[in-house]
Amino acid sequence: MVDQRVRLPDMRTDVAQVLITEEQIRDKVAELGGQITSDYAATSVTLVSVLKGSLPFMADLMRAIQIPVTIDLMEVSSYGGATTETSGLVRILKDLSSSIAGKDVLIVEDIIDTGLTLNYLLRYLRGKNPRSLRICALLDKPARRLVEIPIDYRGFQIPDEFVVGYGLDFGEYYRNLPFIGVLRRELYETT
């Protein structure tokens, strides 16, 4: 039974503009994978994906890295459901499965916005005594930064627009778009 009160997204028309195409993402992921491969060539790296947003990026990036990797998954949440504003309160919904003590760890994120999520995660993961801890973020939105975050591998710097697709959601939808697009403003200004 369909709940008539809920507006389901229209995947074709809700995006005002494609900001980053599938091809641009593919090229950037290959470039980042190459850098990571050469930087960690003498060792191996543990990729820690920050779900849910980083899921497609993680899946593509790990296959663009040509050295042995292990992976782990964390899920954190800082945004409420259908909102474009961070609550500032970071919650761990799923913790690491294995110890990272003594390991070279690379956090894989889809976007750094205010920086509050990563600021929290960096402190949390440093407390688990990895040998090294770096950050790989596909998108960097510096206009909204509240805390400075050292980004070791950056995909794209983007303007202060609300973006969806390739893992990024609005109200949990649009994550499956293969590109990154700007959501039509009226969709979130009215909610």
Choose one: 24-32, 33-41, 44-52, 150-158; the region binding ligand PRP (CB under 6 A): 44-52
Catalytic residue among 110, 113, 140, 169: 113
Among 117, 135, 151, 165, binds ligand PRP (CB under 6 A): 117
Binding mask 50-79 for ligand PRP (x = CB under 6 A): xxxx-----------------------xxx
113 is catalytic: yes
d(CA 47, CA 55): 12
The sign of the torsion formed by the CA atoms of 72, 103, 79, 84 equals negative
52 preceded by a cis bond (ω within 30 of 0): yes
Among 100, 110, 170, 174, binds ligand PRP (CB under 6 A): 110
> Is position 108 an interface residue for ligand PRP (rule: CB under 6 A)?
no
d(CA 117, CA 168): 15
Among 109, 153, 166, 177, binds ligand PRP (CB under 6 A): 109
> Is position 49 an interface residue for ligand PRP (rule: CB under 6 A)?
no
Shortest approach of ligand PRP to residue 3 CB, angstroms?
22
d(CA 60, CA 50): 14
Among 25, 45, 107, 116, binds ligand PRP (CB under 6 A): 116
Site size with ligand PRP, rule: CB under 6 A: 18
Q: Residue type at 155? A: G
Helix axes 55-63, 22-39, angle to 10 degrees: 60
> Is position 111 an interface residue for ligand PRP (rule: CB under 6 A)?
yes
3-state secondary structure of 84: coil
Name the residues annotated as catalytic: 113
Enumerate binding residues for ligand PRP (CB under 6 A). 50-53, 77-79, 86, 109-117, 169
